Chain A
Amino acid sequence: MIAADLAPLAVVLPFLGAAVTFILIRHAHAQRAVSISVLGVTLLIEVLMLVNAPSTGTHAVRLGGWEPPFGIVLVVDQFSALMLVISSAVSLAVLIYASGQGVADGDEDGPVSIFHPTYLILVAGVSNAFLTGDLFNLYVGFEILLTASYVLMTLGGTAPRIRAGVTYVVVSVVSSMLFLIAIGMIYGATGTINMADLAVKLEDVDPATQLVLHLMLLVAFGIKAAVFPLSFWLPDSYPTAPAPVTAVFAGLLTKVGVYAMVRVETLLFPGDRINSLLMVVALLTMIVGILGALAQSDIKRLLSFTLVSHIGYMVFGLAISTRVGLGAAVYYVAHHITVQTSLFLVTGLIERRGGTANVDRLGGLAKLSPLLGVLFFVPAMNLAGIPPFSGFLGKLGLIQAGVDLGTPLTYVLVAASVVTSLLTLLVMARVWNRAFWRSTEDVADPDPILLASKADGSSIGTSRHVTGEDTGRFAGKNPVTLLPRTMTGPTIGLVGLGLALTFLAGPLFTLSDGAAQEMLDRTPYIEAVLGEGADR
């Protein structure tokens, strides 16, 4: 019995939690307690798996006792264990934040809540996608998380969310359809859908057929990962969802797409045949994404564009496909999940304190709430890649790998990644200057909540003092705390996790380097699933 044998629990526990919270749908307190403790236990198990991953190496769990390649296997290696831990830590923080928001807004007397069960199903789908060693099971994992995300995206059913939900659902279904078609063709070409078995058998397939299958998978995952030119849907749909939902989508869902791309590139179709294409795609994703962010004034939309832009860095690392490049990409994925999610959570707090997420209508937040200032500043600088934060370390690794390779195209990409980093800094500085540093008198159309302060000049704590009547954003029976500890707490925790990625950069780089080595080697994965000597 080793820790990696616990892998199925990472999927099963959230599912059980979802069932229990669904039964407890009329008991908000019990729902919160169950879902938070379930995710906490899941996180502990995954940390145990990650700690043991370097020593045990790649390990496959055979579900239902079926022999590979016939049954479904779950594969734990350093990459999947790292992704599991980061994704669970982030989703736990977001869950506490969302629960805190529910408590602060007094949802006890509200209608039944579908949020908790759906959220846990989303987590189960993400874990399944990270763990699976079977191509069709990967499709099922994607569908689990996507179906849950459709519900979360349209929560409440307001007109803007329905409009955004339509775009999101149709685009996601089309990408899943492409994936399913690719699976059908791969089965036709090789007669297997076990990924380790495919890694061996795809080598015998005609190169032209291989290229078709390869590109179909990449397009399907590219839509999910929001890689240019397949990224158009993301800034359209993400910003309208509730803040915690957007945060977890931005952090996790696109990264599941990136994870699948990494597996396709390293395990199924190794070699550098389309690396130049990937580099061009990475270049365009970075530049077009960040130029889009420059044009926005709504912080949530702006962050959605930076999200697209920074996916380009991961694709860059993947396209270099040396040990250094891939290792840096793995580290960058971990960094970006944490930082992007914390930025969206902070934006949720800004929206509560300032009444809006539009930078043109915000001002003086640094004075009104210094805590909010720190919470925004640290991840913003981290995203822009200012030393000594983890964003800088990740970008440095990528640039180093690009220079090591030394082709003209990689030099262009190195230059582009520096430019993108600077433009990200510009975008973040603009938000900072407007929303935090300028005084509230300079704001053209400030929201009433932003201007409200007590007679002694201190900021107010609840929305009741703002209007004193039952209209406006926080209308209702009870006063609403604007920045409750239950919401700032998890945000602080997540920003802290982002900082921890800097302090733990040494061990983390060792880990991601090991993960890259395992993936480029391929043999550990194939032998773990199919047994010794399977790789010829």
Chain B
Amino acid sequence: MTVNITLIVLMAAFFAAGIYLLLERSLTRVLLGLILMGNGANILILAMSGGSGRAPLYVSGTPAEEYTDSLPQALILTAIVITFAVTAFVLGIIYRSWVLGREDEVQDDPEDHRVRTDRGAYDHEDDAELAADTSDFLEQDDVVNSGSTAVRGTGL
């Protein structure tokens, strides 16, 4: 199998930058990292398809080895669509996170703090159920709870 060195170098660069960005705390950078990693994986599949050749359209008399392998390209196409959907969803989350907290940092889990500090499981000041109406998606008179309870009117 022949391997294209440019593709390998490009893939390595994508993975390196992607992993670096993925370890950041800012969600936008994490998203950029995910996109880079996704493209790195796609290039990897392309590199694995072997050397380039003729377009995979049947011409009589052409030996099979001269065609390029079309299956990896089909796989990449599918993977691109999936990455696209995930990117759109993460962008939605980033926007939502911005609407809620005016920041796009990854938050710590409050329950982890609770276990670590050995505080009581219920704290009047911290855990009192306040109606925090920060939703764009609900009607004015719908009240959203801040806890892990069900939200009225979303079907659950």
Contacts and interface: CB of A to CB of B under 8 A. Distances in A.
Contact of A155 (B1, B82, B120, B154): B154
Contacts of A169: 86, 89-90, 93
A295 B115 contact: yes
A159 interface: yes
Interface of A is mostly: helix
A239 interface: yes
A327 B48 CA distance: 37
Contacts of B129: 472-473
Most B-side CB within 10 Å, residue of A181, A185, A351: A181
A174 B120 CA distance: 35
Contacts of B34: 170, 173-174, 177
Contacts of B71: 187, 193
B121 A156 contact: no
Interface in A161-186: 162-167, 169-170, 173-174, 176-177, 180-181, 183-185
Interface stretch (B51-59, B60-68, B145-153): B145-153
A107 B153 contact: yes
B131 A471 contact: yes
Nearest to A475: B143
Most B-side CB within 10 Å, residue of A98, A109, A151, A174: A174
A158 B156 contact: no
A239 B114 CA distance: 15
A143 B150 contact: no
A52 to B, nearest CB: 32
B126 interface: no
A163 B112 CA distance: 13
B153 A181 contact: no
A164 B148 CA distance: 11
B122 A473 contact: no
Given A236-B109, A473-B145, A107 B155 contact: yes
A295 B86 CA distance: 34
A445 B125 CA distance: 12
Contacts of A163: 97, 107, 109
B79 interface: yes
Contacts of B89: 147, 150-151, 169
Given A157-B96, A160-B146, A445-B124, A184 B139 contact: no
A351 B151 CA distance: 13
Contacts of A300: 148
Contacts of A107: 152-155
Contacts of B27: 166
12 contacts: A107-B155, A111-B153, A157-B96, A162-B100, A166-B97, A169-B93, A170-B34, A177-B34, A242-B156, A297-B121, A445-B124, A475-B152
What are the 10 tightest A-B residue pairs by CB atom distance, in nearest-first order? A110-B153, A188-B48, A113-B155, A156-B151, A297-B121, A184-B45, A115-B155, A242-B156, A360-B121, A184-B44
Interface of B: 1, 22, 27, 30, 34, 37-38, 41, 44-45, 47-49, 71-72, 75, 78-79, 82, 85-86, 89-90, 93, 96-97, 100-101, 106-107, 109, 111-112, 115, 120-122, 124, 129, 131-132, 134-135, 137-139, 142-156
Interface of A: 28, 98, 101-102, 105, 107, 109-111, 113-116, 136, 140, 143, 147, 150-151, 154-160, 162-167, 169-170, 173-174, 176-177, 180-181, 183-185, 187-188, 193, 236, 239-240, 242-245, 295-298, 300-301, 351, 357-361, 444-445, 471-476
